[in-house]
Amino acid sequence: MKKILLLSLSLITLISCEKTTIDGCTEPMAINYNPRASVNNNSCDFTGDIIFYLDAAAGLYLYNYGIEELTFYVNGQIIGFQYNNGGFYTSETPPNCSNNLFTSHSVFWSDNSYTTISWQAIDETGFVWFGDTETLLANECLSVELTVPIAGCTNPMAINYNPNATINNNSCDFTGDIIFYLDQAAGIYLYNEGVQELTFYIDGNNIGTQYNNGGFYTTQTPPNCFDNFFTTSSVYWSNNSYTTINWQAVDETGFIWYENTTGLSATECLSMQLTSKKLTVYQENN
């Protein structure tokens, strides 16, 4: 009898020590949360809502500008419209995400309890009035207030970049530097040819001269754009962060020893090495 009792107790103890594992979503914020799951199998799905609304000043601004409608995009997909029906609907306080007077959208995603979304508000002509990137949390109602847009240069590489600007008005101005220098072989060649000076032109404008004072200044390594031994110039342009320039190096007789077209990027210091192989006479004979 004792043996039977001990065997029964052992079986009960063994069974009670065994744990049943259930795979599933263990994140309480998920829409498919499984409270019985003990092992997360990365199956969690989440949702959050976002709503866009104009404040009174922005609505009046767009109305006076003659805008007829705004189309809203989230991650490249159209999610809704707001129309100018004698004026846009506006609010001074954040509406809830079920307010049908404004544009709202439910976003679905997986894995993490938050996601990043990109959005834009574009008028009937295709002009982007508003746009940004937001972090959306699971179960959140994120209210995005659209205020009076600030026109300006939105490119950080521009010299007139406006960090407060919300729409680009194509007013960006850029600058980059270029420096011309002879290597030793080119300097000796020009000296032996009896060249007295080289005048440099960018897009037809004289930017400076290098002289033969018992020889030309030369270097084998690129100088910085503030080296006064060589010819340097700042170039200014608008609209794009990249431009193309035409340049020449002409001696005192008007002979063109060097000429080329090159690209220049905003904020760049472009070092143009002038070698004997880049001489026009060398290129013509080879």
Four-way CATH pick for 45-149: 3.30.70.1070, 3.30.70.20, 2.60.40.1120, 3.40.190.10: 2.60.40.1120
45-149 and 173-285 share one fold: yes
Return d(Cα 14, Cα 18) in angstroms, integer: 7
| Tokens linked to 212 | 């033969």
Contacts (Cβ under 8 Å, ≥6 apart) of 240: 174
Number of H helices, E strands in the chain: 4, 18
Contacts (Cβ under 8 Å, ≥6 apart) of 270: 176, 177, 178, 179, 225, 262, 264
Span 173-285: which CATH code? Answer: 2.60.40.1120
Return d(Cα 161, Cα 53) in angstroms, integer: 27
Question: Could you tell me the residue ranges of all domains in the chain?
Answer: 45-149, 173-285
Count of beta carbons in the 10 Å neighbourhood of residue 252: 14
Q: Give me the pLDDT at residue 4, please.
A: 47
User: How does pLDDT run along the chain (286 residues), one tens digit per residue?
Assistant: 444 444 454 544 444 455 678 889 999 999 999 999 888 898 999 999 999 999 999 999 999 999 999 999 999 999 999 999 999 999 999 999 999 999 999 999 998 999 999 999 999 999 999 999 999 999 999 999 999 989 899 999 999 999 999 888 889 999 999 999 999 999 999 999 999 999 999 999 999 999 999 999 999 999 999 999 999 999 999 999 999 999 999 999 999 999 999 999 999 999 999 998 767 654 555 4
**pTM score, whole prediction:** 0.66
